[in-house]
C-alpha cells in the first residue's frame, strides 16, 4: 500500500477509539498532554505522529486494551515505513517531520551543523543521522512493549493479514440520538452514493437507505473518493463498495466515516 493508504488505516483506528470512548478532543488533549489541533490532524489522517509515545498516550486516554495498543503500533509503524520508502534518499524522512512536538509545547531549536562542501561527506552525514534515529526509535518501541508485559517482538514483524474478497461492516451514525433509536426513523437514515468521486448529496444516492447498526457486505475499498466529513468534522476520502442488488450495477458506496469497522478488503480497481 502507499503511504497515504497506510496513514488512513491508522487514522481510522484512532477515530474508532475516540468514538468508542465518547470523549471530545478537548478532554483527550488534557488527558494525553497532546494539543487538540494535533489530535484532530492524527484522526483525520492529515498528519502522522512523529513518535509512538504520542499514539500511546492518546490510546490510553481512550481506554485502549493491550491488544489494541499493539495493533495501533503496527499500523503506525507500517505508515511510517511506507513514508520512509517513498522519501528521496537525498532527504531522509526523519528530517521531513521537523515540526514542534504534539504536546503543543515549543521545542528549543536544534543546532544544525554547517554543510560540508564535499558531496560525499554530506551524504555520509545524512546516512549516519538516519541510522541514529532508527536505533533510538527501536529502543523506545521495545520499552513500551515491555511495559505492557505482553510481547517483546516489534508488531511490525507480524505478517499483514491477507485481504479477503468480502467483509461485513456495521453502519455508524453519530448524529444526535440516532444511535439509540430503535425505530428506523426517516430522519436517521443515510444514503449510499452512486459514484464515490462525485459530490455526496441527494442527487448522488441510490433509493436504498441505511440506518445505524445495519450490517452491509463490502467487497473493496477506494482511497481517492470525494472527501466526506461527519458531524464532528472528522473526514476522509476512503469509501467502501457495498454489494446491493437493488442498485445499478449491483453495488453502492458508503463513506468510511459512517462505520467504525476497518476490514481488510482489496483496493477497488
pLDDT tens-place string over residues 162-200: 556 899 999 998 877 888 888 898 888 999 999 999 999
- Is the distance from CB of 250 to CB of 242 less than 8 angstroms? no
- Beta-bridged to residue 167, according to DSSP, are 218
**Residue position matching grid coordinates 443515510:** 190
pLDDT tens-place string over residues 214-239: 999 999 999 999 999 887 888 899 99
pLDDT at 14: 94
Distance CA 240, CA 109 (A): 43
How far is C-alpha 187 from the chain's CA centre? Answer: 29
Distance CA 12, CA 223 (A): 12
With bands split at pLDDT 50, 70 and 90, how would you rate the model's confidence at 6? confident
pLDDT averaged over the chain? 80
Average pLDDT over residues 130-149: 68
Distance CA 151, CA 158 (A): 12
- Is the distance from CB of 129 to CB of 92 less than 8 angstroms? yes
Distance CA 74, CA 228 (A): 26
Q: Check residues 83 and 187 and name the one with the higher pLDDT.
A: 187
> Which of 192, 188, 244, 187 lies closest to 211 in space, CA to CA?
188
pLDDT at 92: 41
pLDDT at 248: 87
C-alpha cell of 78? Answer: 507500517
- Beta-bridged to residue 235, according to DSSP, are 229
Domain range annotation of the chain: 3-157, 167-258
Amino acid at each position: 500500500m502507499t503511504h497515504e493508504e497506510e496513514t488512513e488505516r491508522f487514522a481510522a483506528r484512532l477515530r474508532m477509539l475516540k468514538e468508542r470512548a465518547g470523549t471530545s478532543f478537548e478532554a483527550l488533549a488534557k488527558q494525553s498532554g497532546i494539543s487538540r489541533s494535533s489530535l484532530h490532524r492524527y484522526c483525520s489522517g492529515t498528519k502522522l505522529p512523529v513518535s509512538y509515545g504520542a499514539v500511546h498516550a492518546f490510546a490510553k486516554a481512550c481506554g485502549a486494551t493491550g491488544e489494541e495498543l499493539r495493533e495501533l503500533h503496527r499500523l503506525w509503524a507500517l505508515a511510517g515505513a511506507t513514508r520512509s520508502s517513498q522519501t528521496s534518499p537525498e532527504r531522509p524522512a526523519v528530517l521531513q517531520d521537523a515540526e514542534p512536538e504534539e504536546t503543543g509545547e515549543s521545542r528549543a531549536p536544534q543546532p544544525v551543523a554547517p554543510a560540508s562542501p564535499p558531496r560525499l561527506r554530506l551524504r555520509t552525514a545524512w546516512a549516519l543521522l538516519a541510522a541514529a534515529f532508527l536505533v533510538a526509535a527501536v529502543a523506545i518501541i521495545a520499552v513500551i512493549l515491555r511495559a505492557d508485559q505482553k510481547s517483546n517482538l516489534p508488531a511490525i514483524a507480524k505478517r499483514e493479514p491477507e485481504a479477503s474478497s468480502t467483509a461485513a461492516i456495521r453502519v455508524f451514525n453519530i448524529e444526535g440520538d440516532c444511535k439509540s433509536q430503535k425505530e428506523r426513523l426517516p430522519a436517521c437514515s443515510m444514503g449510499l452514493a452512486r459514484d464515490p468521486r462525485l459530490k455526496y448529496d441527494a442527487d448522488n444516492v441510490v433509493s436504498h437507505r441505511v440506518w445505524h447498526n445495519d450490517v452491509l457486505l463490502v467487497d473493496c475499498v477506494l482511497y481517492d473518493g470525494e472527501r466526506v466529513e461527519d458531524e464532528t468534522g472528522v473526514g476522509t476520502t476512503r469509501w467502501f463498495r457495498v454489494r446491493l442488488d437493488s442498485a445499478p450495477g449491483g453495488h453502492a458506496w458508503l463513506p468510511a466515516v459512517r462505520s467504525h469497522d476497518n476490514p481488510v478488503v482489496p483496493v477497488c480497481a
